[in-house]
Structure 1
Amino acid sequence: MKKQHVELINYLCNHKNPITSKELSNALNVSIRSIKNYVNSLNILANEQMIVSSNNGYTIHKMIAAKLLENEETQIPQTSEERSFYIIKQLLVMHSSHLDLFDLCDLLFVSYSTLKNDISKMNKAFSNFHVEFVIENDTIRILGSEKNKRKLVSYVIYEETNNRFMNSDIIKDSFDTLPIDRINSTIRSIFEKYNYYINEFANINLLLHFAIIIDRIKDGNYVNIQNEDFVIENENERALVSDLCNAFEEEFSITFNNSERYEIYMLFKTNANYSLPSSQETLRKIVGSEIIEQALHIVEKVNDFYYINLDNENFLTPFALHLKNLVLRAQNQTYTKNPMTQSIKTSCPTVYDIAIYISLELMEHYNIHINEDEVTFLALHVGAEIERQKTNDSKLKCVLFCPDYMKISTQIYNQLLIEFGNQIDIIKTITVEEDLKKYSFDFCLTVIKLHEKIHQDVLLIPPFLQAHDKAEIYNLITKISNNRKNQILKHQFHQFFSKELFLENPKVDTKEEVLHMMTEKLVDLNLVDESFEEKVLTRENAAATAFGNIAIPHAMKMEALKTCISLCVSKKGIRWGSQSVNVILLVAINKADKSIFHELYEALVALFSKEEVVNQVKECTTFQNFKNLVFEYINMDDEE
């Protein structure tokens, strides 16, 4: 709940008589339109008419308000991380230019010294985002470029979702009368029958939508029949959708009408072949131009206000389909019950807040009322897209260029994802070479030779892939992945390594002694807490981190105040269990940098697995020697 929401509740609770929107506007120092939005938001949050509007003004049900405020108090941030996320959201999501420290202390129930300590930790923890939290005159504000601020707030919202939208167990709990495992098995087997790739996100997305559709039809609710003359032109796609619908009709003794079959087709296109250019025009035929324009408007507003980019077909297609039916339901006041409402409302408040924002836009545009359950369905779309983006962040971005061969491009697309779906994200299938300039990607696969050179890697492939063609694609993926890992080391070298954390030929013999020296330095520099050494040794005792002449010890949890690597080189070697190591890289990772941890770890392993590198590193007597050596080998790999 926003600070203004609490102020509005308290103001109305302190007055017996109705209060006009103008008086509330003056009292809270906001616009009359904002007051109207606050009232709508609070009624959604309360799931009933807590604030009633009349010709005389607004009145509030005090018992309902007290219950809502009580629930709000139980959600006060408890840990340093939770408080940091709260501050970031207040500054960036709620667009506050600054925050008063004493007000924050009251809101968060912490002391002034605790809050200042939290802010100091934030500057370390989020340093990789290149922003700074500055305290001036007992207020806090954030400095940094707009791009970096957007990255930070996206990270905070991504962390909040924490895989809550990509879990079949949630669907099972929410639709406990449906055999979710059997529905899931049917979806997978039919996709396999027609040789269509479906990744984990797409599978969960389809599973959720089928659960909703089946549950609604079993309860006697059907979507309005439209587009009776619409036909799925691709024979293979038509057969797949027909098999899916027939299987569920037989399983549940229900009937899908034409509109529902079209929806299922569009969900299939979104989740199996969302990048094919035919889907946008098909969507327009089903939902109409006005719904698409409204969906695009909402995407733009969410990006402006919350810094979350939803502008892709993965989100737009199912969202527009949902939007069309939501508006129809709201106009007829026949709302859909959402069994996941309470869990999403409490566990993902920012995503829920985005959904409320979308619902307010829709209520104003269509002059309709949207209840709490429908708001949660909107939150599901937003949260699922955030999860999809997180899942694909680590994958290489690929564009498939296949001019004028739509059926072949579908076949190639699916074959590529079946073979390489865990490693690549095909962001677009294009038919015109000029379109390559529109997209950001790592490499291009093309069935014909390009006329112009591009700076990304390009691989010419045949329409029908053979074993040697797959091997070439695999080699290209491996090369680009290795270069990406090297670039993390190269471009963020000083973010990870420092002269203060370079230890040369220490006069110790065992791993316990050297780890004590290294962790002691990290503690002195306030990069980790006092428990770090114990956690590193616990991980080390569970399974040694040494291989060859190198060791890369680390803690199991990413709890460092700032990501860093302490380096020790020993020419004579240090006993590490049953072997001796010459290079020790003690890695401390902050949770905010966890997305790069695996690539960083693999880059270190790849670099120091080379015997010639270790032999040269152990001869390094200065930090500069070490840096020069690392850059030399990284540049050599880039040229290969």
Structure 2
Amino acid sequence: MNNRMITILRELMASYSPLTGDYLANILNVSSRTIREDIKTLDYSLQSNGATIKSTRGTGYQLEIEDDHAFRSYLNQLIKDETNDKQLVDSPDARVNYLIKRFLLAEDYLKLDDLCEEMHISKSTIQSDLRQVRQALKKHDLSLDTRPNYGMKAKGSEVRFRFALSEFVFDRSESSSTSIWKEQLKTLADHDEDKLEAVSDAIMKQIRNHNISLSDIAINNLFIHIVIAYKRIKSGHHVSMIKQELNDITNEKEYHVARKIVEEAEDILNVKFPFVEVAYITIHLLGTRMVSQTNMDHTDIENVLEPHIQKLTVAILDEIENRMSLGIRHDQELFLGLGLHLKPSINRYKYGMNIRNPMLNDIKVNYPLAFESAVIAGIVIEGEIDVSIDENEIGYLALHIGAAIERKKAQDQPIRCYIVCASGLGSAQLIKYKIKAVFGSQVDILGTTEYYKIQQIPFHQTDVIISSVPIKDSLPIPVIEVNTILGEPDINRIRAFVDEDNTNLLEYIRRDFIYLNQGLSTKEEALTFLVDQLNKTIDLPKDYLDLIFEREAIAPTAYGNSVAIPHPVTAQTDQTFLTICTLKKPIEWTNQSVQFICLLNVAKNSQEDLQDMYQMLIKLIEQPKFIQKLIQCQDRDQFLQTLMTYQP
């Protein structure tokens, strides 16, 4: 099964309603005819595995599951097949990933002709793919060495090889089950699952015995790296480290824990780990160490966080407040959480360790403002300790900042309401306690009253009236009509008001800054076009385009569903507004396909709360069918009219 069919199957599984061929063709950047052929092949495969694809003229395609057990077995096999190196090499990204794995695992030089034959691709195609392979390896300080008549071979330090193997050879996303990556490890290490399980148990025993607190992800990473170490040692490769680094590491408590883990792994795997490997494992324990205590006073914090960590944390919070005005600068829990996170992280930065964040996409989508604040934090860290922070690390920083934003939101003023009921005090109290049970501190119930006393309500102090009787009078505040016994529809109406998003995207969109059906072919071309258009109307800083590319370099702004939201790394304009651009054909945007570009221009020194606008944008992105409607618009009026019909 090729990549397109897997994407089609995932889209059909995720949709409760039929998907049109045009929609699938758009997201895959192929013709409707190709989709029809893929659907036919996919349906044939599914019919013997508990499912079919129903096709209805004028409506689209829908997945129908007839045998849940058979279909689940089919999906499990499909996931296992995806982990096979020789699968899925029919797209540029898949080919690049395949080539990276081949070079990292190869003991000898690989010839170009052999790779072409192996992958069934032309020499010109593989030469294009190799440019991306080199770029990916360069991030790990690895290179491709070329020797005439021999071929190519990945070169670099053993430490860098380990990190690259961890990054590219295994699928450790949150959706991947533990059994899948253990299956991958079993194949690589040439060991049965029982021995790998014993290694995993040894790790758990030692970190428990020595009171070292690690996240589940950190334990998985450590386990994977030990198996990688075994594989490389058996092949005659060892980590090389300078003497001073070794001396620093052996003084740490984690070194002694690492030595215990390695001793047990040696017995289980029947291999001798060199002394330097123990130091290497120590780096992982240092890089993932966490302190779980959070209820500390100032003296406790000084004992836990070294002065340089405190100074760095203060610098980060100052810069975030200066640029974003979130009102979280003095959140003590945020200060401690960031500090405790940075303390072990600096070890990762120091040794150039990669870290995978399986929650990255969810963080970017659900906490966009926190993620942008974390980008600022990353810039501060890079400036203070001269390291490079990637978007995986930025995602973890965003979790701390997002929690602080939520705490701040919880402290904001609740919705003030009066309850109107004609059935007597008992009914009013029933409504009152139900609302308190569901909404808690989000709603402040000022009182209850009968309908005939409605004019006595202090309207200037009340945000909304919740009434179990129809109110025909014209009142200066909104009225939510409910049943005396609050059902789910009643709760949803109240929730819609409590969680109401007062921001309308149209407030930020100017008609003159909408550019539809543009024939642009690259990300660079599209961003240059948008900045050039803006420059014709408003005065932008001379380095505006550079600042946008600087932000892209930190973390790509493509959010999926054909949408990208680029913006400068810092606020630069006099007002906050959006610039919209749709494209005739999708373009590649850092491994994502993009056809809808929303350039976000944020006012400098702004005190406005951008959280609502970010949330509105993200809600829009999460509706791919509506995005496709906007992409199909032929003129600005049609685009604005379509946008006015948007219901989040």
TM-score (norm. length: structure 2) = 0.32
TM-score by length of 1: 0.32
The higher relative CO (CA closer than 8 Å, separation ≥ 6) is in: 1
